[in-house]
Amino acid sequence: MAVVDIQFTAHDCGGCPIKHRAVCARCDDDELSLLEEIKYYRSFEAGQTVLWSGDPMDFVGSVVTGVATLSQTMEDGRTQMVGLLLPSDFVGRPGRGEAAYDVTAVTDLTMCCFRRKPFEKLMERTPHIAQRLLQMTLDELDAAREWMLILGRKTAREKIASLIFILGRRDASLGLGTTTVGQMTFDLPLTREAMADYLGLTLETVSRQISALKKEGVIDLQGKRRVHVPDHERLLAETGDDADGGMVA
């Protein structure tokens, strides 16, 4: 529950693990030092809520370590995840004073936050920040559109295969997990329920489809969370996408 300051507080941006991908990636040293004046770190434990939809929001920020989700909930409790935030992803919208979605830490989480008003002012004077944010937002929009195809047109089995594929691709690009030719091993950062919320399924269906993929040898589980994909192509075939990945280049 408590929001704990961690060792990052003392860090300068030079040692930041996401400095090449975050919203500040294009900033020069001068710009970084302006950002440093308005930044602070916050950390959250797995399961904590970072923000509720509608909460006043006086900061924006980046995920430094860990995984968070954005989700929407209907009155009757149905929920849909609408964003999966990994290290370097940005939270908040300049100009918006309240949270539009629930933000939840699904693993232990560290965020680099900027006070919103000063950040907005800085953005007006610093095209590098706005340029980078535009690029990141366009990437997110592409990801959202890929996600829409998954939600609207894929079967439960294809949804699960797509999720595993996406998580594996992402871990590979971050250099996590193990990747050898055509194979990979990594941890699912999400519970079955979170996967269900991501994919517009129930947790029972998620569980069944994972079991089915396992039984057929498409994937292979070490414990509930660690996944080994023996044949990348085989998994891709199960996603329903075409051979080049079916996604934006």
Partner DNA sequence: CGTGGTCTTGACACGATTCAAGCCCCGTGG
Partner DNA sequence: CCACGGGGCTTGAATCGTGTCAAGACCACG
Q: Which residues bind a second copy (CB under 8 A)?
A: 70, 72, 74-76, 78-80, 82-83, 93, 95, 98, 100-101, 124, 127, 130-131, 133-135, 137-138, 140-142, 144-149, 151-153, 199-200, 240-242, 246, 248-249
Give the CA count within 13 Å in the CB-facing half-sphere of 110.
Answer: 14
**Nearest approach, Cβ of 224 to DNA (angstroms)?**
4
- Annotate each residue in 35-54 with x if it binds DNA (CB under 7 A) or - if it does not, as one string: ------------x-------
Helix residue spans in 106-155 (DSSP H): 116-125, 127-153
Q: Which residues sit opposite 111 in a β-bridge?
A: 42, 63
Helix residue spans in the chain (DSSP H): 29-37, 116-125, 127-153, 156-173, 192-199, 203-215, 232-239
* Residue found by looking up tokens 């529950």 in the block: 1
| Site stretch for DNA (CB under 7 A), options 2-10, 56-64, 137-145, 197-205 | 197-205
Kindly state whether residue 233 participates in binding DNA, applying the rule CB under 7 A: no
Kindly state whether residue 80 participates in binding DNA, applying the rule CB under 7 A: no
Q: Which does 245 bind (CB under 5 to 8 A by kind): a second copy, DNA, none?
A: none
**Nearest approach, Cβ of 202 to DNA (angstroms)?**
4
Kindly state whether residue 203 participates in binding DNA, applying the rule CB under 7 A: yes
Kindly state whether residue 192 participates in binding DNA, applying the rule CB under 7 A: yes
Q: Which does 203 bind (CB under 5 to 8 A by kind): a second copy, DNA, none?
A: DNA
Q: Which residues 6+ apart lie within 8 Å of 169 measured at CB?
A: none
Q: How far is CA 169 from the centre of its chain?
A: 13
Helix (H) or strand (E) holding 68: strand 68-73
Q: Which of 43, 69, 104, 205 binds DNA (CB under 7 A)?
A: 205
Q: Round to whole Å and give the CA distance between 80 and 74.
A: 9
Residue 238 zone, left/alpha/beta (φ > 0; ψ -120 to 50; rest): alpha
Kindly state whether residue 201 participates in binding DNA, applying the rule CB under 7 A: yes
Q: Hey, which residues between 98 and 157 contact DNA (CB under 7 A)? A: 155-157
**Nearest approach, Cβ of 27 to a second copy (angstroms)?**
16
**Cβ closest to DNA, residue 39 vs residue 157:** 157
CB atoms within 10 A of CB 53: 14
Q: Round to whole Å and give the CA distance between 224 and 14.
A: 37
Q: Which of 91, 103, 210, 236 binds DNA (CB under 7 A)?
A: 210
Which residues of the shown chain bind DNA in the complex (CB under 7 A)? Answer: 47, 155-157, 191-193, 200-208, 210-211, 221, 224-225
